[in-house]
A and B are shown apart, each in its own frame.
Chain A
Amino acid sequence: MAGKSEPIATGHVQAHARSGQIQLALMAVLLAALLIAPMLLYPIFLMKLLAFALFASAFNLLLGYTGLLSFGHAAFFGGASYFTAHAVKEWGWSPEMGILLGVLGAAGLGLVIGAIAIRRQGIYFAMITLALSQMFFFACVQMPFTHGEDGIQSVPRGMLFGVIDLGRTMTMYYFVLAVFMLGLFIIWRFVNSPFGMILKAIRENEQRAISLGYSVARYKLGAFVMSAALAGLAGAIKALIFQFATLTDVTWQMSGEVILMTLLGGIGTLLGPIVGAGLVVTLQNYLATSDIPVTIITGVVFMACVLLFRRGLIGELAASRLGRTLGMRSES
């Protein structure tokens, strides 16, 4: 339809002076909860949750703060997972070097896919990222190092920096938590940097950003590569958590899942993707034992989100009276 259309709704939380403090306080509570959580809950489940929360946050960096909907983030997540698993298992690399390779590999993939995809906007951008990630999926099916349907199995976790044994579940948990917090800090710094501000300007009005003299394509590509690298970080630690890398992580369904997590939690909020990832992973955990296919629930939640609460849980909370009393402000 012609005419002006409402842009992607984002809970714009940073606009308020006190909102930063509120968010930091919430983050502190979250961190405290995560520090004691493995005493109460199954650590592997928590680590999975953290990996997906980081993945969704990385995705949100692109959709929430730059307004680019990528339908191909599974390529970076699953790709990095393969790179790390291969380096650690076949080449005997240490876990930190393996993760570094995964992140760099994902960034490289992001550079190639991003450079092609940013040539079109909006819907086309989504379709192109989807198609290119599907191409990467087919490449993964055929390349020998991924071992096709079997995946890369029994990946050793190894010794972190040569001294810390990640084979112990609790040690691994706190390592994953540290990586997660680091990733989140990078995202927070990135979003609030001058670079991040320009990205927001592009999201709000691309034509205007161009007329102000910004090289929009470069900024978009920068954001895309950054998002891909962080998604890669999430994929790399996932390979070490579960000690295998599979085709599942590069499928387009995975790209859809990360969109759902972000949409459900709240696009463009710092906490939203974490909450969304938590809900989706928990839901999958419970549904895994029932006969109802997860996709029915996922699909219905997707439709409900789009039709009823586009700002997501955190975005709606920020817009509600409670959110306003807490000092969050929502502009959408």
Chain B
Amino acid sequence: MTMIFGIPVQALMGQLLVGLINGSFYALLSLGLAVIFGLLRVINFAHGAQYMLGAFAALLLLTVGGVNYWLALILAPVIVGLFAAVVERTMLSRLYKLDHLYGLLFTFGLALAVEGTFRYFFGASGKPYAAPAQLTGAVNLGFMFLPVYRGWVVVASLAVCIAVWLLIEKTKLGAYLRAATENPVLVQSFGVNVPVLLTLTYALGAGLAAFAGVLAAPIYQVSPLMGSNLIIIVFAVVVVGGMGSILGAIVTGYMLGVIEGLTKVFYPEASNIVIFVIMAIVLILRPAGLFGKDA
């Protein structure tokens, strides 16, 4: 068997793939957080809960409505996005003029309430969600077997990340969004409806989290607490990348996922904490984050 640094190639590639998949979720979630934070200046603690809601939406659509995976991939983010829009309109929007910490505290409470409710109705144990028939099985890449679904996760998340980046950087709506991030009062005086833009942005961020949730459903089991520990890692990813750039959030997400995967191969004991260690080092050397502009 071929070895690299005394590690079988298959084990190395396997963990690299796991890292890449985790990185896909980190990238999707930190992208959503960065988009929301950019415009609303709210750290969305409910992001993990919205990710969980996406997975549950897919599961319930399948078991109750018989809706298949492909349709759920579109419907679940829409449903969660609508829910988020209602929350933003009725409650979150009252907090914009206050200290930003209130947004964090409010969404923290929201996450607890939503996760608690789902635990009450569905129990704490995970429920399986089968991958669609088209994406089962594995392909032989010569040096390893790649499960098709896992390959799909990496491709799909990358495509969505790029699409969101294009939406924000290249379209007119994205231009409004970037302008409102810089100076909301001025943009509003030009006749752009900024409050609606804020609602749309929050819904978009939540929808991205839900999309990640549907992608995750066949890999991890669907459970009420699936998002609560993930969200803290994503916070660390966001601190490392800096909130300044959308691209930064994406790149940092994949990068840290891969580093975490490699740590599992070379020093498994540290795999849980490696991202936090990197965060501490980055903060000491470059407090604004790798891609951050604000000090």
The interface centre, meaning the residue of B108, B184, B280 with most chain A CB atoms within 10 A of its CB, is B108
By the criterion CB–CB under 8 Å, are A302 and B185 in contact? no
Instruction: For B283, list chain A residues within 8 Å (CB).
Output: 116-117, 119-120, 128
Total interface residues on B, CB under 8 Å, equals 49
Find A6's partner among B37, B98, B105, B272 (CB 8 Å cutoff).
Answer: B98
A190 to B9, alpha carbons, bound, how many Å?
59
A2 to B235, alpha carbons, bound, how many Å?
22
Q: Does A124 contact B (CB under 8 A)?
A: yes
A3 to B183, alpha carbons, bound, how many Å?
9
By the criterion CB–CB under 8 Å, are A123 and B43 in contact? yes
Q: Does B273 contact A (CB under 8 A)?
A: yes
A303 to B113, alpha carbons, bound, how many Å?
9
Nearest residue (CB) in A for B117 is: A296
By the criterion CB–CB under 8 Å, are B101 and A69 in contact? yes
Q: How far is the CB of A100 from chain B (nearest CB, A)?
A: 28
Instruction: For A7, list chain B residues within 8 Å (CB).
Output: 99
Nearest residue (CB) in A for B284 is: A116
Instruction: For B279, list chain A residues within 8 Å (CB).
Output: 128, 131-132
Find B109's partner among A123, A124, A139, A306 (CB 8 Å cutoff).
Answer: A306
Find A302's partner among B106, B182, B273, B280 (CB 8 Å cutoff).
Answer: B106
Q: Would you give the 0/1 interface string for B27-48, flagging 1 where the beta carbon is closer than 8 Å to chain A?
A: 0000000000100110100000
Q: How many A-B residue pairs have CB under 8 A?
A: 142
The interface centre, meaning the residue of B105, B116, B236, B239 with most chain A CB atoms within 10 A of its CB, is B105
Instruction: For A132, list chain B residues within 8 Å (CB).
Output: 276, 279-280
By the criterion CB–CB under 8 Å, are A127 and B97 in contact? no
Q: Which of A35-43, A163-171, A286-294 contacts B (4 or more CB under 8 A)?
A: A286-294
A259 to B113, alpha carbons, bound, how many Å?
16
Q: Would you give the 0/1 interface string for B184-222, flagging 1 where the beta carbon is closer than 8 Å to chain A?
A: 110000000000000000000000000000000000000
By the criterion CB–CB under 8 Å, are A292 and B114 in contact? no
Given the interface pairs A142-B269, A263-B105, A306-B95, the reply to whether A2 lies near B116 with Cβ below 8 Å is no
Instruction: For B95, list chain A residues within 8 Å (CB).
Output: 306-307
A256 to B236, alpha carbons, bound, how many Å?
17
Find B105's partner among A139, A259, A293, A295 (CB 8 Å cutoff).
Answer: A259
Q: Would you give the 0/1 interface string for A255-297, flagging 1 where the beta carbon is closer than 8 Å to chain B?
A: 0100100010000000000000000000000000001111111
By the criterion CB–CB under 8 Å, are B276 and A135 in contact? yes
Given the interface pairs A120-B287, A295-B112, A295-B115, the reply to whether A307 lies near B120 with Cβ below 8 Å is no
Instruction: For B239, list chain A residues within 8 Å (CB).
Output: 120, 124, 127-128, 131
Interface residues of B in 236-295 (CB under 8 A from A): 236, 238-239, 269, 272-273, 276-277, 279-280, 283-284, 287
Nearest residue (CB) in B for A7 is: B99
Nearest residue (CB) in A for B272 is: A138
A310 to B101, alpha carbons, bound, how many Å?
12
A252 to B45, alpha carbons, bound, how many Å?
12
Instruction: For A8, list chain B residues within 8 Å (CB).
Output: 99, 101-102
By the criterion CB–CB under 8 Å, are B105 and A306 in contact? yes
Q: How far is the CB of A122 from chain B (nearest CB, A)?
A: 6
A1-B97, A131-B236, A307-B95 provided; 7 other pairs, C-beta below 8 A? Answer: A123-B41, A128-B239, A131-B279, A296-B120, A301-B109, A303-B113, A305-B105
- What would be 6 A-B contacts, judged by CB atoms less than 8 Å apart? A119-B283, A123-B37, A135-B280, A256-B108, A293-B120, A307-B95
- Chain B positions within 8 Å of A, measured between CB atoms, are 37, 40-41, 43, 91, 94-102, 104-106, 108-117, 119-120, 182-185, 232-233, 235-236, 238-239, 269, 272-273, 276-277, 279-280, 283-284, 287
